């Protein structure tokens, strides 16, 4: 009896680590992930673990596998979305449902090695709030993807005053106070990477080699990446709006100069035809500029529209086997 009480007290003292895994059609990768996470948990008995899957409307056996794991081991938990909401939304749901003293985001395809987690935890114990893993190499990714990602970081950093971590994905450990801070950012077009930078706190970088995906196919395509990149820029800064001013000023100067030129030429040579052509050119040119400006404004209007709808970010079908009633 006495022994049991001591045990209980030990469990109460143990720090809890939530590992959040967004998963969308990952039936091929999950068995490998399960194995490696179990190994990790066995090697770190001094912590209590919670593996929180966010099943993002998978159409394959992902949910079935997760349920099997939970039956065998109650440390495996899951949130099952009512449909596919995308990884970014999956991550905020993970933060909402995680119960740990810190959380770790990890991809289901094992591109982020779970073996790095002890190092992340080590720095957390040293007092860092946000320990992020920075890629040293990117195995199995095309030259084009690497190149575009590099350019994207460069452009984003130029446009904003908040410091952005380079070559960093979502693989990171966050202390409870970062989690609480992130939970307060409820905007609907989410770019979690920029939010990690925005919240600040003590950050620590850990280098790692990014592996190729273990099985299955990537769910990203260039359209999705473009979407994410544009979201990233517009959610971070309004400097693209200034772009319109930069374009407008020289355009008006050009208009003035050309206008004077045309008038003077008309008076001197009395040829109407050339001026007519010039006007057509000008009309074309300025409608081009206007379209561009409208495009930029539309970008922000769209965001305002999305935010004012104030919808819940996601809907949950069930949590750990219990149906969610959305009350």
DSSP conformation letters of 6-23:
HHHHHHHHS-EEEEEEEE
Nearer to ligand UDP, 26 or 175 (CB): 26
| Count of residues engaged in binding Mg ion, rule: CB under 5 A | 4
If the CB atoms of residues 142 and 270 are measured against ligand UDP, the closer one turns out to be 142
Pick the closer one to ligand UDP by CB: 86 or 100: 86
Q: Compute how many other C-beta atoms are within 10 angstroms of the C-beta atom of residue 326.
A: 9
157 binds, among Mg ion, ligand UDP, none (CB under 5 to 8 A by kind): none
DSSP H helices, the chain, are 2-13, 30-43, 62-72, 87-97, 117-125, 143-159, 176-183, 192-199, 222-236, 239-269, 272-309
Q: Does the footprint of ligand UDP cover residue 220 (CB under 6 A)?
A: yes
Partners of 103 in the β-ladder: 18, 174
Residue 189, CA distances (Å) to 60, 119, 229 in order: 27, 32, 12
Helix (H) or strand (E) holding 173: strand 168-175
- Binds 66: which of ligand UDP, Mg ion, none (CB < 5-8 Å by kind): none
Task: Give the separation between CA 131 and CA 144, rounded to whole angstroms.
Answer: 28
Instruction: Give yes or no for residue 219 binding ligand UDP (CB under 6 A).
Output: yes
> Which of 109, 129, 130, 175 touches ligand UDP by CB under 6 A?
109
| Cα(181)–Cα(199) distance, integer angstroms | 7
**Partner residues linked to 54 by β-bridges:** 22, 79
CB of 213 to Mg ion, least distance (A): 5
Q: Which is nearer to ligand UDP, 154 or 224 (CB)?
A: 224
Provide the mask over 107-146, with x wherever binding to Mg ion is found by CB under 5 A and - wherever it is not.
Answer: x-x-x-----------------------------------
Q: Which does 22 bind (CB under 5 to 8 A by kind): ligand UDP, Mg ion, none?
A: ligand UDP
Q: Which of residues 5-24 bind ligand UDP (CB under 6 A)?
A: 22-24
Site membership for ligand UDP, residue 77 (CB under 6 A): no
Q: Which stretch binds Mg ion (CB under 5 A): 123-131, 209-217, 228-236, 309-317?
A: 209-217
Interacting span for ligand UDP (CB under 6 A) from 217-225, 242-250, 265-273, 285-293 = 217-225
For ligand UDP, the closer of residues 48 and 316 by Cβ is: 316
Give the strand order in the sheet containing 48-55. Answer: 203-210, 130-138, 168-175, 102-105, 16-23, 48-55, 76-81, 316-319, 322-323
Q: Quickly count: other Cβ atoms within 10 Å of residue 36's Cβ.
A: 16
The DSSP output letter for 74 is T
Q: Is 107 in the site for ligand UDP (CB under 6 A)?
A: yes
Interface ranges with Mg ion (CB under 5 A): 107, 109, 111, 213
Interface ranges with ligand UDP (CB under 6 A): 22-24, 26, 56, 84, 86-87, 90, 107-109, 111, 213, 218-220
């Amino acid at each position: 009896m006495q022994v049991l009480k001591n045990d209980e007290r030990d469990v109460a003292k143990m720090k809890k680590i939530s590992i959040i895994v967004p998963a969308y059609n990952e039936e091929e990768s999950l068995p490998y992930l399960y194995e490696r996470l179990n190994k990790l948990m066995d090697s770190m008995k001094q912590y209590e673990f919670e593996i929180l899957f966010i099943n993002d409307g998978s159409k394959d056996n992902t949910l079935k596998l997760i349920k099997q794991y939970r039956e065998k081991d109650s440390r495996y938990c899951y949130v099952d979305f009512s449909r596919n909401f995308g990884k970014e939304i999956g991550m905020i749901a993970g933060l909402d449902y995680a119960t740990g003293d810190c959380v770790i985001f990890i991809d289901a395809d094992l591109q982020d090695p779970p073996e790095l987690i002890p190092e992340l935890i080590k720095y957390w114990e040293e007092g860092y709030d946000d320990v992020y893993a920075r890629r040293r190499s990117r195995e199995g990714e095309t030259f084009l993807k690497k190149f575009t990602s590099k350019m994207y970081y460069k452009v984003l950093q130029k446009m904003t005053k908040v410091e952005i971590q380079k070559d960093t994905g979502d693989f990171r450990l966050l202390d409870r106070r970062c989690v609480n801070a992130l939970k307060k950012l409820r905007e609907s077009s989410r770019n979690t990477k920029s939010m990690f930078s925005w919240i600040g706190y003590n950050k620590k970088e850990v280098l790692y080699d990014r592996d190729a995906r273990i099985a299955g196919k990537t769910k990203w395509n260039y359209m999705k990446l473009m979407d994410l990149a544009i979201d990233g820029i517009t959610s971070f800064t309004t400097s693209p709006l200034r772009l319109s001013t930069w374009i407008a000023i020289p355009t008006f100067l050009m208009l003035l100069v050309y206008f004077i030129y045309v008038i003077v030429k008309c008076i001197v040579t009395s040829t109407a035809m050339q001026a007519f052509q010039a006007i057509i050119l000008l009309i074309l040119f300025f409608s081009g500029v206007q379209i561009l400006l409208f495009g930029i404004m539309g970008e922000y209007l769209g965001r305002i529209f999305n935010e004012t709808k104030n919808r819940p970010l996601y809907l949950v079908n069930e949590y750990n086997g219990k149906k969610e009633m959305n009350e």
